[in-house]
C-alpha cells in the first residue's frame, strides 16, 4: 500500500492491516511471507557493490534487512506518522538503537523519573559503560527539565503513558523544551500504541516501542522498533556528527546530506544493525504483523475494561488509591483528551491496604490474572513491581517511578470485565483478611 502523502488518505483500521503489505511478487501470497533466509542472491557484481555502497536499496544479509521485517517497519512507521523505522530484537534494543547515533562519551540525556524499571536500570547502570549518563527529572516540572539540560545533553526521553502507573506525559510541552534546546525528544510509546497516542503529532522526534507488548498483543515474541519523524535537522547544530559528518566505513558518506529526512533510519540499519547486531528475526516480525491487524479492536476493549475495573477498585475500601489516568480523580485526567483522545490505556497500579505482604497475598490468590513480567497481552496480567521489575531500584527510586512497595501493576486484558472484577474481589478478600 502506498504511503505517498499526496496519495489516498487511509484510516487507522485500514493501515493496521495493509500498510507495508503487498502481494508476494513470486507467488501472489496475500499475507506477508516469512522470509526465513540469512542471505540474498545479487543480480551481479555491480548490484552487490551498489548495495554495499548504500547506492541502492535492497537485501544483503538478514542481520541488516529482511523483507518480513521491512514490512513491519513500514507498518509501524506508517501508523506512527513517521518517515521510516528500524526493527530490532527487543524494546531495550530499540532504546539503545535510538541513542546510538546521538551519543558519545561524556554526553548525557534527560530522562523522566516515571519509566519502566528496566529502562531506569539501563540508563543508570548500563549506558555508563559507554561513557553516557542520564539525569532523571519529574517531567511534570517543566522548569526542572530545562534546568537539567546542559551543553552535553543530546536528547530528552520519556514515556507517553508511563509504566507502571499509567501517568500521561504532556508530550507537546516537553517537545517545545527539546526544540528550544535543539535536541530530539524520544518517546517510548509502548503502553499507549499509535492507536491511543501519536507522539510525532505532539512534536516528538523519535518514537520507540517494545513490540513485544500491545503491538503483538499475544505474548509470543519479543521485539522493538525505532520510528523517525523525519522532521529533525541532524546537521543544524554539529551535535550529531554520526549523522552529519563523513562516515569512514562508507568512504566519507554523510548520512544527513545523502539521505535527508531518511538519515536516521538508514544509519540505524547500515551502522546500528550492522555493528550492534540486535536484529529482529522474521518469525517474530510475522507474529507482530498479525497482531497489529487487530490493534484498534483490542485497544478499545483494553480501555473499556480498564475504565470499569479502575472505577470499581477506586470505590473498594480494601484499596488505598488507583493511578489510572482515565479516572476523574486523577491529576492526569485532563491530559487524556489532549494526549490520548481514545483512552488512557489498559495499564495502571493500585495500592493494597496492608502493604507489601498484602500485595504478595493478592497475587498468589488470583485465578484469572496471570503473574508475569509482561504487559499488553490479551490476557490480564499482574505483577508486584517492587519485588520484580523495579527490584533493582532503591525505595526512593521505586516511589519516584510509581512502583512503591504497597502497589501492584495490572495490565487489563480483553476478557469479560465482570469476571476480572470477581477475581480481584476474592483475591483482595484473602489478601486483606
Query: Each residue of 33-75: pLDDT tens digit?
Result: 999 999 999 999 999 999 999 999 999 999 999 999 999 999 9
Q: Which long-range contacts (CB under 8 A, 24 or more apart) does 213-216 make?
A: 213/91, 213/374, 213/375, 213/376, 213/377, 214/190, 214/295, 214/298, 214/299, 214/302, 214/346, 214/375, 214/376, 215/76, 215/288, 215/291, 215/292, 215/295, 215/376, 216/287, 216/288, 216/291, 216/292, 216/376
333 pLDDT more than 90: yes
pLDDT on residue 386: 84
93 pLDDT more than 60: yes
204 pLDDT more than 80: yes
pLDDT on residue 8: 65
Q: What is the mean pLDDT of the chain?
A: 95
pLDDT on residue 7: 52
105 pLDDT more than 60: yes
Domains of the chain with CATH codes: 20-291 (3.40.640.10), 295-431 (3.90.1150.10)
Query: Each residue of 378-407: pLDDT tens digit?
Result: 999 999 988 887 777 788 888 877 788 899
Whole-angstrom CA distances from 182 to 53, 235, 257, 377 are: 31, 11, 18, 37
- pLDDT tier at 5, thresholds 50, 70, 90: very low
Nearest-CA neighbor of 240 among 269, 277, 267, 218?
267
2 pLDDT more than 50: no
- pLDDT tier at 243, thresholds 50, 70, 90: very high
pLDDT on residue 67: 97
pLDDT on residue 357: 92
- pLDDT tier at 221, thresholds 50, 70, 90: very high
- For residue 94, what is its C-alpha cell? 530499540
pTM for the predicted model, two decimal places: 0.94
Query: Each residue of 129-185: pLDDT tens digit?
Result: 999 999 999 999 999 999 999 999 999 999 999 998 899 999 999 999 999 999 999
Nearest-CA neighbor of 102 among 66, 134, 140, 61?
134
Amino acid at each position: 500500500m502506498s504511503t505517498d502523502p499526496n496519495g489516498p488518505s487511509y484510516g487507522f483500521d485500514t493501515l493496521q492491516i495493509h500498510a507495508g503489505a503487498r502481494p508476494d511478487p513470486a507467488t501472489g501470497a496475500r499475507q506477508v511471507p516469512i522470509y526465513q533466509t540469512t542471505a540474498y542472491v545479487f543480480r551481479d557484481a555491480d548490484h552487490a557493490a551498489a548495495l554495499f555502497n548504500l547506492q541502492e536499496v535492497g537485501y544483503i544479509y538478514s542481520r541488516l534487512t529482511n523483507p518480513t521485517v521491512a514490512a513491519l517497519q513500514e507498518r509501524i512507521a506508517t501508523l506512527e506518522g513517521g518517515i521510516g523505522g528500524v526493527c530490532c530484537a527487543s524494546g531495550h534494543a530499540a532504546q539503545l538503537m535510538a541513542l546510538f547515533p546521538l551519543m558519545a562519551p561524556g554526553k548525557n540525556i534527560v530522562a523522566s523519573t516515571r519509566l519502566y524499571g528496566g529502562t531506569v536500570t539501563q540508563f543508570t547502570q548500563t549506558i555508563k559503560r559507554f561513557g553516557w549518563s542520564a539525569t532523571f527529572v519529574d517531567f511534570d516540572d517543566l522548569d526542572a527539565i530545562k534546568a537539567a539540560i546542559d551543553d552535553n545533553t543530546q536528547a530528552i526521553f520519556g514515556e507517553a503513558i508511563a509504566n507502571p502507573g499509567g501517568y500521561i506525559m504532556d508530550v507537546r510541552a516537553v517537545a517545545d523544551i527539546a526544540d528550544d534546546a535543539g535536541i530530539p525528544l524520544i518517546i517510548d510509546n509502548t503502553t499507549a500504541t499509535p492507536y491511543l497516542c501519536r507522539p510525532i503529532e505532539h512534536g516528538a522526534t523519535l518514537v520507540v516501542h517494545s513490540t513485544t507488548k500491545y503491538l503483538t498483543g499475544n505474548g509470543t515474541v519479543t521485539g522493538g522498533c525505532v520510528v523517525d519523524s523525519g522532521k529533525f535537522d541532524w546537521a543544524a547544530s554539529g551535535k550529531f556528527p554520526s549523522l552529519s559528518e563523513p562516515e569512514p566505513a562508507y568512504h566519507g558518506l554523510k548520512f544527513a546530506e545523502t539521505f535527508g529526512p531518511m538519515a536516521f533510519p538508514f544509519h540505524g540499519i547500515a551502522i546500528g544493525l550492522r555493528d550492534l547486531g540486535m536484529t529482529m528475526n522474521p518469525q517474530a516480525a510475522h507474529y507482530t504483523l498479525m497482531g497489529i491487524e487487530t490493534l484498534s479492536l483490542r485497544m478499545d476493549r483494553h480501555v473499556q475494561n480498564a475504565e470499569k475495573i479502575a472505577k470499581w477498585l477506586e470505590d473498594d475500601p480494601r484499596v488505598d488509591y488507583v493511578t489510572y489516568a482515565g479516572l476523574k480523580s486523577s491529576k492526569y485526567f485532563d491530559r487524556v483528551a489532549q494526549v490520548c483522545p481514545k483512552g488512557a490505556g489498559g495499564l495502571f497500579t493500585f495500592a493494597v491496604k496492608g502493604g507489601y505482604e498484602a500485595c504478595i497475598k493478592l497475587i498468589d490468590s488470583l485465578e484469572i490474572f496471570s503473574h508475569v513480567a509482561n504487559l499488553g497481552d490479551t490476557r490480564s496480567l499482574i505483577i508486584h513491581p517492587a519485588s520484580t521489575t523495579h527490584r533493582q531500584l532503591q525505595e526512593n527510586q521505586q516511589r519516584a517511578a510509581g512502583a512503591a512497595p504497597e502497589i501492584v501493576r495490572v495490565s487489563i486484558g480483553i476478557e469479560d470485565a465482570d469476571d476480572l472484577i470477581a477475581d480481584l474481589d476474592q483475591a483482595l478478600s484473602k489478601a486483606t483478611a
